[in-house]
């Protein structure tokens, strides 16, 4: 296999406009050549992108400082303030062994200290500058994940519901108290019997026109609000989601206007006792996040003023008339939930932060730890073993890929909050659902892999894998169960597919579907399916085409299956029959988006050494994913057997190459020791064991 020691250049638009006649002639020569000599023939690309390959198998020289500068977000300064504040306050650092009740009180003191002592006020950034808010959230979550979630409940959920679902009167009344923590609050959506199916919530809010009030009721135990963060101990208010019931003059007596949000005081501002008609209980000890006080709320004829209805999308007048700018219950419900996607954006972004910490600890330890070696020679680092590289290097590549993808999501979300563009709202809703589901699932699995990769020492609580794994695990469930979110992605893809064939326009994010339906669904080219040259396999065009081809095949085939099964099973039965297919489709699409954003980030990198490193990592991410689903590509003859073997061989070699710069790559995350807080993952390797033994008392 030939290689060329050339750098990955930064192309311009003109680079892609190669003379068409020359391209046609070149392709014909390649096809003839392959038929005459059925061996690997390096292709000529449709662009003149020069690829970094591995001539001489030399290690790339990476300037970790330059790489960090490129990776660094524009809000790194406020993250440093968070890190420095908690590093200077040992009394606010979470100890290894702490009871549930003590952890909850510490978590509250941490949040109060951040806001009142450190002067970091996240609330105003929720709408004004979401990227800054998410940067604070990531930093706070690295101090203690419980603290990150508690902050998210206060500002993103409770505060965000007031800002996003309320009107000026609500902001004027509650903003300052939420901002300075005088009004700690909750987000009471989930019920004992209903979580993902929000339209099925049973709590009711009935309007009383005689007293100009709403009456909040829990009609049965299944409607008890459950898992409500901040409710068990600290919350004084709750945004309660309930069905709005209006009295009518017909035989029904009341009219159901759908789920709305209401501000309900739950504790006395002075005594902190539960208010009349409100029953509060503790959900108890959890698998993780025990610094968050999750509670259950039950309402018995609790009266609140009519003004406590968060009425941005629908209101009730003094005489009991309902008004809304949106024509139906479904439209109002969609608008309401659409304003709450910030929670998913935050979870996806924070999950990458958790993955960075875990992979940093695991890689540093794997470089430090030595075990076995050739006869009569020194022991070698465990990261020199192919099996360890296989566990950790694709994970390191994925961490970089997720970093760029979630940064793009935050940018899109911020743009959506500024512009309120309808197309952008749909894009962000689907992208946030897909990335939240995909990234949190991947991180959850990776935390166990990191623990295993660090052997017995990975099992020590002080080295953090256990607490990271337990605290992060619920990320797969709250703010939307991952399986449900992936179905939303699949449904949106099918909607776009249908509109394409009805002559509609596709939004920018989905443009590739138009091309894929016209191009990728044709029979695979028997010539290119056999190309196995390194330059070809490392060409971003090949990689992205492969990802998108798979998505397009999955989309077309599931559309055909749904049409077929709906005739006998109905639409719901057909969807359930094809559910696993739909989930695979959604994951495939999200992987395509992640790769596209990674390729863009590589092309945009101004520093040559950092760009070379990122190109290597991007290639590993792409080829490892292709190899993991090689059966799909083989089944449709997109990849011939010889090419499949070449992909596997190259992905293993790229893991080895990434191993050679693994230290610089994890240093690129800029996580100081007081953030990683794991002795075996310390930056100064020679100090790792001495720090570790100190915890045991030596």
The sign of the CA dihedral 274, 278, 279, 281 is negative
DSSP lists the bridge partners of residue 186 as 238
Q: Which string of b and e fits 22-47 if b means at least 16 CB within 10 Å? A: eeeeebeebeeebeeeeebbbbebee
Q: Which string of b and e fits 537-557 if b means at least 16 CB within 10 Å? A: bbbbebbbbbbbbbbbbbbbe
Which residue ranges are tagged as binding site for FAD?
Answer: 190, 229
Report the relative pairing of strands 295-299 and 322-323 from DSSP bridges.
Answer: unpaired
Closest to 241 measured CA to CA, from 265, 253, 258: 258
Closest to 410 measured CA to CA, from 660, 132, 640, 160: 132
Cβ neighbours for 450, distance < 8 A, ≥ 6 positions apart: 358, 359, 361, 362, 392, 395, 458, 465
Taking the C-alpha atoms of residue 468 and residue 288, their distance in angstroms, rounded to an integer, is 9
185: left (phi over 0), alpha (psi -120 to 50) or beta: beta
Q: Is 479 a catalytic residue?
A: yes
Residue 622 φ then ψ, to 5°: -65, -50
Taking the C-alpha atoms of residue 616 and residue 621, their distance in angstroms, rounded to an integer, is 9
Taking the C-alpha atoms of residue 305 and residue 697, their distance in angstroms, rounded to an integer, is 60
In the set 479, 532, 534, 587, the catalytic residue is: 479
CA atoms within 13 A on the CB side of 398: 25
Which residue ranges are tagged as binding site?
Answer: 190, 229
Taking the C-alpha atoms of residue 188 and residue 200, their distance in angstroms, rounded to an integer, is 14
Taking the C-alpha atoms of residue 563 and residue 692, their distance in angstroms, rounded to an integer, is 60
Report the relative pairing of strands 278-282 and 295-299 from DSSP bridges.
Answer: antiparallel
Taking the C-alpha atoms of residue 581 and residue 579, their distance in angstroms, rounded to an integer, is 5
Residue 134 φ then ψ, to 5°: -65, -30
Diameter over CA atoms, the chain: 94
| DSSP conformational letter for 267 | B
Taking the C-alpha atoms of residue 443 and residue 352, their distance in angstroms, rounded to an integer, is 7
DSSP lists the bridge partners of residue 254 as 247
Q: How many other CB atoms sit within 10 Å of the CB of residue 227?
A: 20
Contact status, residue 354 vs residue 346, Cβ threshold 8 Å? no
User: Reduced to 3 states, what is the DSSP secondary structure of residue 188?
Assistant: strand
Contact status, residue 199 vs residue 259, Cβ threshold 8 Å? yes
Q: How many other CB atoms sit within 10 Å of the CB of residue 685?
A: 15
Cβ neighbours for 110, distance < 8 A, ≥ 6 positions apart: 86, 92, 94, 143, 144, 147
478: tokens are: 């709250």
3-state helix, strand, coil in the chain (%, to 5): 60, 10, 30
Contact status, residue 267 vs residue 275, Cβ threshold 8 Å? yes
Taking the C-alpha atoms of residue 463 and residue 447, their distance in angstroms, rounded to an integer, is 12
Which residue, chain included where needed, has tokens 């459950």?
Answer: 226
What are the catalytic residues?
479
């Amino acid at each position: 296999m030939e290689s060329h020691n050339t750098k990955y250049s930064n192309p311009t638009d003109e680079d892609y406009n190669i003379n068409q006649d020359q391209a046609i002639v070149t392709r014909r020569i390649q096809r003839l050549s392959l038929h005459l000599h059925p061996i690997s023939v390096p292709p000529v690309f449709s662009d003149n992108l020069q690829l970094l390959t591995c001539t001489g198998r030399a290690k790339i020289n990476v300037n970790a400082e330059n790489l960090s500068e490129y990776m660094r977000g524009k809000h790194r300064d406020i993250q440093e303030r968070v890190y420095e504040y908690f590093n200077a306050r040992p009394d606010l650092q979470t100890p290894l062994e702490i009871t549930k009740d003590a952890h909850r009180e510490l978590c509250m003191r941490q949040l109060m200290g951040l806001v009142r002592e450190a002067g970091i006020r996240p609330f105003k950034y929720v709408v004004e500058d979401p990227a800054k808010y998410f940067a604070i959230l990531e930093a706070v979550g690295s101090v203690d994940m419980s603290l990150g979630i508690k902050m998210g409940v206060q500002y993103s959920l409770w505060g965000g519901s007031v800002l996003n679902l309320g009107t000026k009167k609500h902001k004027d009344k509650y903003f300052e108290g939420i901002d300075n923590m005088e009004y700690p609050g909750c987000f009471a959506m989930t019920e004992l019997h209903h979580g993902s199916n929000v339209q099925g919530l049973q709590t009711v809010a009935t309007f009383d026109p005689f007293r100009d009030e709403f009456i909040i009721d829990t009609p049965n135990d299944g409607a008890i609000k459950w898992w409500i963060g901040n409710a068990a101990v600290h919350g004084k208010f709750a945004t309660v989601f309930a069905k709005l019931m209006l009295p009518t003059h017909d035989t029904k007596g009341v009219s159901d206007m759908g789920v709305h949000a209401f501000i309900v005081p739950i504790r006395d501002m002075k005594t902190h006792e539960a208010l009349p008609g409100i029953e509060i209980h503790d959900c108890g000890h959890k698998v993780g996040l025990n610094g968050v006080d999750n509670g259950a709320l039950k309402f018995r004829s609790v009266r609140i003023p009519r003004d406590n209805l968060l009425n941005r999308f629908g209101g009730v007048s003094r005489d009991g008339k309902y008004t809304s700018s949106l024509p139906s219950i479904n439209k109002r419900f969609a608008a309401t939930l659409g304003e709450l996607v910030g929670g998913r954006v935050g979870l996806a972004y924070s999950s990458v932060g958790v993955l960075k910490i875990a992979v940093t600890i695991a890689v540093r330890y794997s470089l430090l730890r030595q075990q076995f070696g050739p006869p009569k020679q020194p022991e070698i680092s465990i990261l020199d073993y192919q099996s360890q590289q296989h566990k950790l290097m694709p994970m390191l590549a994925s961490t970089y890929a997720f970093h760029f993808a979630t940064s793009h999501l935050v940018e899109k979300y911020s743009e959506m909050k500024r512009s309120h563009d309808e197309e952008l709202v749909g894009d962000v809703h689907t992208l946030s659902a897909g990335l939240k589901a995909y990234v949190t699932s991947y991180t959850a699995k990776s935390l166990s892999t990191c623990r295993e990769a660090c052997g017995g020492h990975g099992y020590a609580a002080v080295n953090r894998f256990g607490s990271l794994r337990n605290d992060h695990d619920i990320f797969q469930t709250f703010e939307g169960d991952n399986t449900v979110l992936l179905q939303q992605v699949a449904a949106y893809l099918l909607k776009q597919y249908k509109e394409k064939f009805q002559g509609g326009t596709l939004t920018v994010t989905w443009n590739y579907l138009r091309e894929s339906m016209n191009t990728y669904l044709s029979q695979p080219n028997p010539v290119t399916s056999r190309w196995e040259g390194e330059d070809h396999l490392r060409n971003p065009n090949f990689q992205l085409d492969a990802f998108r081809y798979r998505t397009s095949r999955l989309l077309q085939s599931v559309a055909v299956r749904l049409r077929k099964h709906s005739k006998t099973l109905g639409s719901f039965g057909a969807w359930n029959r094809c559910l696993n297919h739909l989930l695979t489709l959604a994951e495939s699409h999200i992987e395509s988006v992640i790769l596209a954003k990674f390729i863009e980030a590589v092309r945009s990198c101004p520093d040559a050494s950092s760009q070379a490193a990122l190109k290597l990592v991007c290639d590993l991410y792409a080829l490892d994913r292709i190899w993991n689903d090689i059966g799909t590509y083989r089944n449709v003859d997109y990849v011939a057997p010889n090419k499949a073997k070449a992909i596997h061989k190259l992905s293993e070699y790229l893991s080895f190459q990434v191993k050679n710069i693994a230290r610089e790559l994890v240093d690129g995350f800029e996580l100081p020791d007081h953030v990683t807080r794991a002795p075996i993952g310390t930056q100064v390797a020679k100090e790792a064991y001495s720090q570790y033994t100190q915890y045991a008392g030596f």
